[in-house]
Structure 1
Amino acid sequence: MTIPQSPTTEDIVAALRNADAVQYGEFELSHGGTSAYYIDKYLFETDPKCLQIIASAFADRINETTLAGVALGAVPLVAVTSTVAGQPYVVVRKKAKKYGTGNRIEGRLNEDEEVVVLEDIATTGTSAVEAVNALRDVGATVERVFVVVDRQEGAREQLESNNVEMEALVTATDLLVDDENV
């Protein structure tokens, strides 16, 4: 698979499917609900070609801004996207660590700095909102969250209610349409 310069929705869907990241069955989701399909972020984030396509697609959408990834799931996304886009990044922990520096935000971040949060899969949007709030608490300006897959289960609405625009590379509809496994 060659890496397209400006990946399309179709390129990203194909990359996710080629990485076997879309699975079918009965799955419990992190928010407690169940689903007939699952998007395995660890399969697509550990597949070099898929990760390159995703990073390239994110980089196409990023202006000169600092990136942020939520630990642990979005760290590969933000690290590779940072390299492709040539932009710095920070990592947002779910809570401050109790050792070392005790930071919740890892990396260099200046007050009033514009930050775009990268997220793997958005379902309810809770983890993205928590990351946005943690960044805002230290003085960052966060108005956008980019996600690989929007499961279309309320994340966009929750982010909008927190004055954050969400942009997804693909939606569940994009990913599941024309899939003979559905």
Structure 2
Amino acid sequence: MERIELAKEIFKTAHLTGTFKLRSGKESDHYFDKYLFESNPRLLAAIADHLIPHIPQNTEILAGLEMGGIPVATALSLRTGLPVVFVRKKAKAYGTCKLAEGAAIGGKNVTIIEDVVTTGGQILLSAADLKTYSANVNDVIAVIEREQAGRTNLEDAGLSFHSLFKMEELLLASQTN
């Protein structure tokens, strides 16, 4: 699938109209439901194919953040053969009590995978958490860069940020034939 076609498909699949309460508490007449494109196997495979060139060469582990980064990281793992780890927002309080489930990350070059980045706040928290487990975290890859603030915050923290699409690109693609 060509990049512009992928942008159109993501927008067509995930853009909803109606009345929606946002995380901020405000109401909006439109909403972007990222889980709709992540649960579509055809789109998820195409997204993974387009993200592969963004994976830094020294990456040893892909780290999918709870919850939206997990399907994207899994799809990338299946396409590249790179091991994956699933990163919780908070370590579970039972069983293994792990923050990161899956491959061992100590001393490894770990690239964080996320679906949509707005401010980058959770990525910064998760990167710090992964570093406490001796992971080398320098890169973040996202499907959609919603706001410039996310890029700025991540880069200010010393992380390289790569995104497949900016939200404006999806909006523009939806308006073309």
Indicate how the Cα distance of structure 1 residues 106 and 31 shifts in structure 2: closer, same or farther if over 3 A, else same: farther
Aligned residue pairs, count: 174
* Structure 2 counterparts to residues 150-165 of structure 1, below 5 A: 150-165=145-160
The question of 1:12 aligning with 2:1 is answered no
How far is 1:37 from its partner?
A: 4.1
* Structure 2 counterparts to residues 35-54 of structure 1, below 5 A: 37-54=30-47
Specify every segment of 5 or more residues in structure 2 that has no aligned partner in the other structure, as ranges: none
Q: 1:92, 1:134 within 8 Å by CA — same for their partners in 2?
A: no
Which digits, 9 at most, give the CA deviation of each residue in 1:108-152, with x for residues without a partner? 224221011110111111111112111111111111111111112
Q: 1:67, 1:78 within 8 Å by CA — same for their partners in 2?
A: yes
Residue 57 of structure 1 is matched in structure 2 by: 50
TM-score by length of 1: 0.86
Identity %: 32
Q: Which has the higher contact order (CA 8 A, sep 6+)?
A: 2
Specify every segment of 5 or more residues in structure 1 that has no aligned partner in the other structure, as ranges: none
* Structure 2 counterparts to residues 76-95 of structure 1, below 5 A: 76-95=71-90
How far is 1:61 from its partner?
A: 2.2
Q: Structure 1 stretches (4+) deviating beyond 3 angstroms?
A: 24-37
Which digits, 9 at most, give the CA deviation of each residue in 1:34-62, with x for residues without a partner? 65643211100110111001111122322
Residue 109 of structure 2 is matched in structure 1 by: 114
> What CA RMSD, in Å, does the superposition of the two structures yield over aligned residues?
2.1
Could you tell me how far apart the structure 2 residues matched to 1:34 and 1:159 are?
28
Could you tell me how far apart the structure 2 residues matched to 1:160 and 1:90 are?
23
